[in-house]
Amino acid sequence: MCGCIFKKAYGYTTGGGILMALQQITDIKHRLAETTKTVRQTKRAVLFSHVEAVPTMKPLQIYQSSGKSYKGERFYWENPEGNLTLCGMGVAAKLQPGADSVGRFSQVKDQWGALLSMASVNHCLGEMATGPILFGGFSFMEGETGPIGLWEDFGDYLFYLPRFLLTESANGTFLTSTKLITEDCDDCSIERFLEDREQLMSLSPAMVEEIPSFSHVEERDVEKWKEAIERSVEDIRTGLLDKVVLAREVSLHFEGKIPSGTILHNLTEQQPGSFIFGVESGESCFLGASPERLIKKEGKQIFSACLAGSIKRGDDARTDEQLGLELWNDEKNRSEHEFVVSMMRKAMEEQCIELDIPQEPILMKLANIQHLYTPVKGTSLPNSSILEFVELLHPTPALGGAPRKIAMEKISEYEQMERGFYSSPVGWMDMKGNGDFAVGIRSGLIKGGQASLFAGCGIVEGSVPESELTETKVKFKPMLNALGGLRI
């Protein structure tokens, strides 16, 4: 039964607010008592989830101040439209690769389905991205991330169903508390549930932690990377492939631990119009400011993007406009872009009943870079899940290449590094198969005092190694600036 009696966010400080807060506690007690009874009777676990409107709490501040209790189990998300911010803390359930022989996308679908089949949710608020959601992502290439090494904390995929989820949207702020109630659970009492919720709601904003002093930079062999571009251009000329995206890694070392909350804070300030994301796992945090949407699903409505072709921003309006024009008219960049559009059109036609892809790109201007951008809109077939679109689209030729299979082989051969979650789908999905995934670019992995940054470029027939190297330097800028304005 739905025990929710209000629809709008409220302040607990008003008389009405206090009454409503008490009503929430009564609701939780009642629902949890019923759930516990059912679990005992049926001997089957229930995923208990409670959504409520709460007084304004800033997700980024809560991310920072919840570090003491939930470090290593937090995530952060801000969409480029600026109308949805999420902060997840703690783990109600974690999805990681199992021994199943089915592919990883099917594994996630099955594991999520199993969790939802035992869910009890007071979903009467009906707000986007509330209730049980999954947040996380996939690695770029299945089977690439080993149990040791840079990406050891992430694997082929990693998703959290958070213990606490703070959702900030145009309609207010919402808190979802979720817990798996099992028969032999030690900390499933009503008192404990309410205590944890109370502790979270009374978190006060933490000080922004300082980034420790920079020590040194470690770069993979740049000459080898340029040679890989030459070899790729040769492969393209001989007709082996049409396009391949080659990335490189730069590692920055600091004198102490890098605070992920501070980097996220800087990214939100410095990179408007981007997805700001962070996902912690143990001692690591993968984070960034990506301008690229892989897929968003809202009911039947589908949104995606073709983003490929780049040039720097100009120092003044006139130069900036000239650079934009140069990019828009440049044959090499247009061809980089066109491979993405044509793959997108073909893939989306399979899954959509209506599709709207403009004939020509427009410019997307970000703080440090401008791109050729073609927005994609569609209407999906009934009963589809966002996961099916993620599987279908990843990786587009903006991150992989064309044809996809050969490009992936060439990436493994030429890059000689683990991409991990870089250039991969990162985002969230809800109970109904709706959600939003970005492509994890302009990003890095923070682990202790080390930040490993990644940037790549679309290689086509007209690619020149030195210019592609310069392009990666522009793409490193968002993360370098967020780390304190470093230059490499």
Ligand X SMILES: C=C(O[C@H]1C=CC=C(C(=O)O)[C@@H]1O)C(=O)O
Q: How far is the CB of 308 from ligand X (least distance, A)?
A: 4
441 binds, among ligand X, Mg ion, none (CB under 5 to 8 A by kind): ligand X
The candidate with the shortest Cα–Cα distance to 155, out of 137, 171, 170, is 137
Q: Does 426 bind ligand X (CB under 6 A)?
A: no
Q: Tokens standing for 24?
A: 């929430």
Contacts of 192 (CB under 8 A, 6+ apart): none
Nearest-10 Cα torsion for 305, 308, 309, 312? 80
Q: What is residue 9's DSSP assignment?
A: -
Q: Which is nearer to Mg ion, 88 or 458 (CB)?
A: 458
According to CB under 6 A, which one of 109, 442, 447, 477 is a site residue for ligand X? 442
> On the CB side of 307, how many CA atoms lie within 13 Å of its CA?
24
Residue pair 178/193 in contact by the 8 Å Cβ criterion = no
Q: Is there binding between residue 343 and ligand X (CB under 6 A)? A: no
Choose from Mg ion, ligand X, none: what does 442 bind? Cβ within 5-8 Å by kind: ligand X
266 binds ligand X (CB under 6 A): no
Write the binding mask 292 to 311 for Mg ion: x where contact by CB under 5 A, - elsewhere.
------------------x-
Cα–Cα distance measured from residue 88 to residue 133, given in angstroms and rounded to the nearest whole number: 10
Q: In degrees, to the nearest 5, what angle opens at C-alpha 458 toward C-alphas 105 and 338?
A: 85
> Under the criterion CB under 6 A, does residue 398 sit at the interface with ligand X?
yes
Pick from ligand X, Mg ion, none: which does 107 bind, CB < 5 to 8 A by kind?
none
Task: Give the whole-angstrom CA distance, residue 371 versus residue 416.
Answer: 27
Q: How far is the CB of 14 from ligand X (least distance, A)?
A: 47
Q: Of residues 179, 243, 297, 447, which has the active-site annotation? A: 243
Which of the following is catalytic: 78, 168, 280, 292?
292
By CB under 6 A, the count of residues binding ligand X is 19
Chain positions 449 to 478 lying near Mg ion, rule: CB under 5 A, are 457-458
* Total Cβ atoms within 10 A of residue 253: 15
298 vs 300: CA distance, rounded Å: 6
Among the listed residues 131, 137, 261, 456, the single contact to ligand X using CB under 6 A: 456
Query: Does residue 292 have an active-site annotation?
Result: yes
Of 212 and 462, CB closest to ligand X: 462
Of residues 417 and 457, the one with the C-beta less far from Mg ion: 457
Q: CA-to-CA distance for 370 and 308, rounded, in angstroms?
A: 10
Q: Which does 293 bind (CB under 5 to 8 A by kind): Mg ion, ligand X, none?
A: none
Q: Does the protein bind ligand X through residue 458 (CB under 6 A)?
A: yes
Exposure string over 303-315, b if 16+ CB within 10 A, otherwise e: ebbbbbbbbbbee
Total Cβ atoms within 10 A of residue 2: 11
Which of 79, 176 has the CB closer to ligand X? 79
Q: Which does 369 bind (CB under 5 to 8 A by kind): Mg ion, ligand X, none?
A: none
Q: Would you tell me which residues interact with ligand X (CB under 6 A)? A: 245, 247, 292, 307-310, 336, 371, 398-399, 423, 441-442, 455-458, 475
